[in-house]
Structure 1
Amino acid sequence: MLVVLSAGAGAVFIRSHKHPTASRELSVTSTPTPLATPSAFPVPTDARPIETTPPRTLSAPRAHASRAAVATASASATRVPKPAPTASAAAPGRVTPDASAGSAVGYFAAGGYPILVNQQHPAVGGSYVFTTWKWDGTHWVKLLEGTGSPYAAGNMAYDPAVGMTIVMTGSTARGWNGSSWIDLARVPGAITGQPYLAFDAARNQLVLLDSNPTGAVTWTFDGRSWKQAASSAAPAQHYGAGFAYDPRIRAIVLVGGRPSMGSGAFNDTWTWDGTAWQQQHPAAAPSGGYGTMAFDSATQQMVLLEENGTTWTWSGSTWTPLASTPRPSYGSYSGMIDDSVHHDLFLWEGVGGYESGSQTWTYANGTWTRR
């Protein structure tokens, strides 16, 4: 299932979604180290779990998660009926998280739900509040508020080998284990550009691309530490591109983006095969610019939503536009993921301007539906 979350076009934040292998040990820090945050966004000193609806009971994350088991569950699961969509983004009395800087949406496969981190705008004279949310199939439910929730520097990715959804906060990887965020490992050196994350199932490792103004650096994470990959060519200075793993070609795909905030547009396509980045030259290509992308496990298609609202699919060698009515407009801080429980794509994005709400969509069988 793909889920996309985005904000209004008034402010665009550049970011954007088998083979059995040996399991790997997980080494984490039990007490998170305080992380630096932008001075413009003071962090509250408290961290409060939010009691809303009773949380799903989860077993403790396993250090040796079986990817084969995960793949089997995704492939054999029966589509779960969804509630009928409503005209509004949230039911009366429900809180909808505003899309803002520091927002990212991901999928927590161990719990079977989409997860969102963001910062909520303060009251006059107050401080920004960092929050963590889950999508319960109908509404957004706040799970955590305060310093325990991270500021997202880029997109999130689920790592089945450690059983956590991972996000970069500066140069530190933090993982969601179902109840809290914990520090995993710092990348040696600074992240100076757009950080992209995707799990490379063929090689059983998390991949981080730091696409920055002077080049691009690729890192791999084995559950313990980061290792820089040697690659002579890479997609540099691509902000707001689509980024996701394609199991059909056993490679990570990057498409589109912009060189900087609002200037120019890329429509190039790159793939990472575990060793090197290679630019592809498809017969047809998207128009370019910001986008969000995820692999739809239900239809075995790579799906891209462009900033102009056009939906494309990637065959592994070329791009094809899809006609779908209605369809979401691309909003700032958009994020799209595959929801393997409901067998569709999930999209979250901003709507109506910076910190002016958000909207949630799902994509299944070629049709977009607002939730």
Structure 2
Amino acid sequence: MPQWVLRDTSGPPARFGHAMAYDSARGVTVMYGGGQAVPNVGYVGFGEVWEWNGAQWRQRTTYNSSNAWHQDGNGYWVPNYGDTPAGRLQHAMAYDSRRGRVVMFGGRSASPGGGDFFFGDTWEWDGLRWQFRATNGPVARISHTMAYDESRGVTVMFGGFSSGDFGNVWEWDGVSWKGFTPTNGPASNYSQDAGSMAYDSVAREIFYGPTTDGFTLGFFWSWDGHDWHSRGAGFTPTIYSPAYGAMVFDDFGQQFVYFGGQNGYQNFFGGNTTAFLKSGTSASGSWSVLPDAGQGSLFSGGEFINLSNFLAMLNAHADPVSLFLWNQFPPDTQQTLANPNATSDETKSVLRTNLSNIIKGSSIFDASRFAGVNLSVETLVLQRLNPKGPDLIRFNRLLLEDAYPIEILRSPPTPSGRMRLAAAYDSRRHAVVTMGGLYDPGASQPVGNETWELLAVERLVINEQPLSQYRAPGDTAVFRVAASGPKGTALNYQWSFGNQPLTDGGRISGAQSAALQIANVGAADAGQYQAQVSAGRDAVQSSPAILTLNPKLQIFRIAPAFDLLWGSSNIVLEHSDVVTSNWVAVPGANSPFDIAPVGAGKFFRLRPTE
């Protein structure tokens, strides 16, 4: 079963209404836009490009609204349509794998004058820069959704809230938009702004849902380029399909994954992750719902891994948390816990029942009560969001796990409930990547910035590839790889230089570990390094990484992309379509810098900073 892992809390600022797309040529998830609610202002939109490589976020562009807007002759603020899009939220993005471009359309933004502006523009990001493409396509809209149809080579767009155009399907071929008006499919008399879209690489069709049909939300449809085809009425007859969640297609598991969304006012699905099983599975056409954060946080009895120590702490109630719990227990529970003749099953039973009741109540957090407790990152994330409902249960459970780290087994991480989040599927690492979202649609509208990944922990997967690097002679080079495998299975590592397996000794250490270190590097050490990770009978190879001692700009083929490497930190990487002129700085470029092997050719050079 896939497992959620909290990967990062220090990347892009918190936001909701952003969009993400996975660039399979460069192996990065691209994120743009999103916003935050600001009291007495409305909302503020972001205009930077961020990229996630599976280990860290990198900000690729900065944003200055003065470069994206101007006032027309009547004094109205309008977009420039120059070299950068205006910051926005509630837009849509998809990755065109044939052309190596992330396609973006629409969205909304507060203009510099304070007005609410709806966009009808098309932009493309090629990993180096934004390019404005069109405004003569679909009408301006928000909360629409897009996906790239690999079999037909077009980006498909549907839905959203706009001034018209209900029910039309639009397709972008890289040159122009083409509209369709199907006679069947989702209801055309409503704004289809609640669903999500993904491409099924096995069935070779676009999948969309849940759709709006009056007061009903729950139908799913597929689009084959000509017609809509019904794919069922949602998750189960008893579960209302959540609006404004995020859906991706797991091409390794051949299933759709839908996470988050709003099921009624302030009622989020939280950690409910649904997998739409089709394309050859026995459960074709149905959704399976995994337990949410609250259900998964209740005690079962098996998590008391050091029962005797836990009982001793509760009976002594010398620390603030144990005193609080003891005072919450009814007299008969206190008697059972204090009885030395009580069986293990009896004590586990009363602990399971009473602790579950406690964490289902109000928040147990008090600053003085938990002053001496080292709170985990996941606990701190939930604390900032003022959790409610299932998320509050999860928060209380985490607090107890933090207070009793060797007495209570750590439960699997689970993201909190949210809507208007962004998600993408990293096909290289078989990971569903999510970031941010709106946690409460009330007045405060808190948003988060944590990055979660749903990883296929039952499979051996490399989650972080080693990076190519420049080192001066005499420096130390370190290559790192991170992997995950089936629970309980040990991971083994073997680094190689070229085709030669390495062993520890002399200047080399960590040859059979996740981190290879080469001290006092010299010319003989320059070349290609690679790690093999094995778990039982399974083994996977990392991407190769280059060590160079040459500080000049160099290019290496690191499948599936190319790596640019250089040595100096006081330079700017520039690119141009022609070698003689029009050189432009590459935003956010650090060595190593990856470039896609598709699209038009480029020239690159280094320029010293002034």
Separation of aligned partners in 2, 1:151 and 1:193: 9
What residue in structure 2 maps to residue 293 of structure 1? Answer: 197
Separation of aligned partners in 1, 2:155 and 2:12: 30
What residue in structure 1 maps to residue 255 of structure 2? Answer: 344
Separation of aligned partners in 1, 2:130 and 2:228: 33
Corresponding residue to 2:176 among 260, 273, 276: 276
Whether the aligned pair in 2 keeps the contact of 1:298 and 1:344 (CA below 8 Å) is no
One-letter code aligned to 2:146: F
Corresponding residue to 1:370 among 279, 289, 296: 289
One-letter code aligned to 1:299: A
Q: 1:151–1:351: structure 2 CA closer, same or farther, 3 Å change rule? A: closer
What residue in structure 2 maps to residue 62 of structure 1? Answer: none
Q: 1:166–1:293: structure 2 CA closer, same or farther, 3 Å change rule? A: same
Whether 1:154 and 2:18 are equivalent positions in the alignment is yes
Q: 1:295–1:310: structure 2 CA closer, same or farther, 3 Å change rule? A: same
Kindly state the Cα deviation for residue 230 of structure 1 after the two structures are TM-superposed: 3.1
Deviations 1:3-23 (A, max 9, x none): xxxxxxxxxxxxxxxxxxxxx
Corresponding residue to 1:360 among 249, 263, 273: 273
Separation of aligned partners in 2, 1:345 and 1:293: 10
Q: 1:210–1:256: structure 2 CA closer, same or farther, 3 Å change rule? A: closer
* Paired residues for 1:204-223 under 5 Å: 204-212=100-108, 213-223=117-127
Whether 1:224 and 2:124 are equivalent positions in the alignment is no
Q: Which has the larger radius of gyration?
A: 2
* Paired residues for 1:1-371 under 5 Å: 83=1, 137=2, 139-148=3-12, 150-169=14-33, 170-186=46-62, 188-192=84-88, 194-212=90-108, 213-237=117-141, 239-259=142-162, 266-287=166-187, 288=190, 289-290=192-193, 291-305=195-209, 306-307=211-212, 308-323=217-232, 326-327=235-236, 329-352=240-263, 353-354=265-266, 356-358=268-270, 359-365=272-278, 366-371=285-290
Kindly state the Cα deviation for residue 285 of structure 1 after the two structures are TM-superposed: 2.8
Q: Identity across aligned pairs (percent)? A: 26
Q: Which has the higher contact order (CA 8 A, sep 6+)?
A: 1
Q: Say how many residue pairs are matched.
A: 231
Q: 1:153–1:185: structure 2 CA closer, same or farther, 3 Å change rule? A: farther
Separation of aligned partners in 2, 1:163 and 1:275: 25
Whether the aligned pair in 2 keeps the contact of 1:282 and 1:319 (CA below 8 Å) is yes
Bigger proportion of residues as strand: 1
Deviations 1:248-298 (A, max 9, x none): 2211111112239xxx89322111110112211223131142211101112
Unaligned runs of 5+ in 2: 34-45, 63-82, 109-116, 279-284, 291-610
Q: Could you say what secondary structure the match of 1:333 adopts?
A: coil
One-letter code aligned to 2:245: S
One-letter code aligned to 2:55: S
Q: Could you say what secondary structure the match of 1:216 adopts?
A: coil
What residue in structure 2 maps to residue 66 of structure 1? Answer: none
One-letter code aligned to 1:334: G
Q: 1:364–1:188: structure 2 CA closer, same or farther, 3 Å change rule? A: same
Deviations 1:16-64 (A, max 9, x none): xxxxxxxxxxxxxxxxxxxxxxxxxxxxxxxxxxxxxxxxxxxxxxxxx
Separation of aligned partners in 2, 1:194 and 1:250: 24
Separation of aligned partners in 1, 2:25 and 2:119: 29
Q: 1:158–1:321: structure 2 CA closer, same or farther, 3 Å change rule? A: same
Q: 1:364–1:174: structure 2 CA closer, same or farther, 3 Å change rule? A: same
Kindly state the Cα deviation for residue 141 of structure 1 after the two structures are TM-superposed: 2.1
Q: 1:149–1:214: structure 2 CA closer, same or farther, 3 Å change rule? A: closer
Unaligned runs of 5+ in 1: 1-82, 84-136
Separation of aligned partners in 2, 1:230 and 1:314: 24
Kindly state the Cα deviation for residue 245 of structure 1 after the two structures are TM-superposed: 0.7
Q: Could you say what secondary structure the match of 2:244 adopts?
A: strand
Separation of aligned partners in 1, 2:12 and 2:137: 37
Deviations 1:190-234 (A, max 9, x none): 234532110012222111113444541111111111010034222
TM-score by length of 1: 0.57
Separation of aligned partners in 2, 1:325 and 1:251: 27
Whether the aligned pair in 2 keeps the contact of 1:324 and 1:368 (CA below 8 Å) is no
Separation of aligned partners in 1, 2:185 and 2:94: 22
Kindly state the Cα deviation for residue 147 of structure 1 after the two structures are TM-superposed: 5.0
One-letter code aligned to 1:329: Y
Q: Displaced runs of 4+ in structure 1, greater than 6 A?
A: none
Bigger proportion of residues as helix: 2
One-letter code aligned to 1:362: A
Whether the aligned pair in 1 keeps the contact of 2:103 and 2:124 (CA below 8 Å) is yes
Deviations 1:144-174 (A, max 9, x none): 2245565354221101222111111311111
Q: 1:285–1:333: structure 2 CA closer, same or farther, 3 Å change rule? A: closer
Separation of aligned partners in 1, 2:17 and 2:32: 6
Kindly state the Cα deviation for residue 367 of structure 1 after the two structures are TM-superposed: 2.0
Q: 1:249–1:277: structure 2 CA closer, same or farther, 3 Å change rule? A: same
Whether the aligned pair in 2 keeps the contact of 1:195 and 1:210 (CA below 8 Å) is yes
Whether the aligned pair in 1 keeps the contact of 2:103 and 2:122 (CA below 8 Å) is yes
TM-score by length of 2: 0.35
What residue in structure 2 maps to residue 134 of structure 1? Answer: none
Q: 1:196–1:356: structure 2 CA closer, same or farther, 3 Å change rule? A: closer
Q: 1:230–1:251: structure 2 CA closer, same or farther, 3 Å change rule? A: same
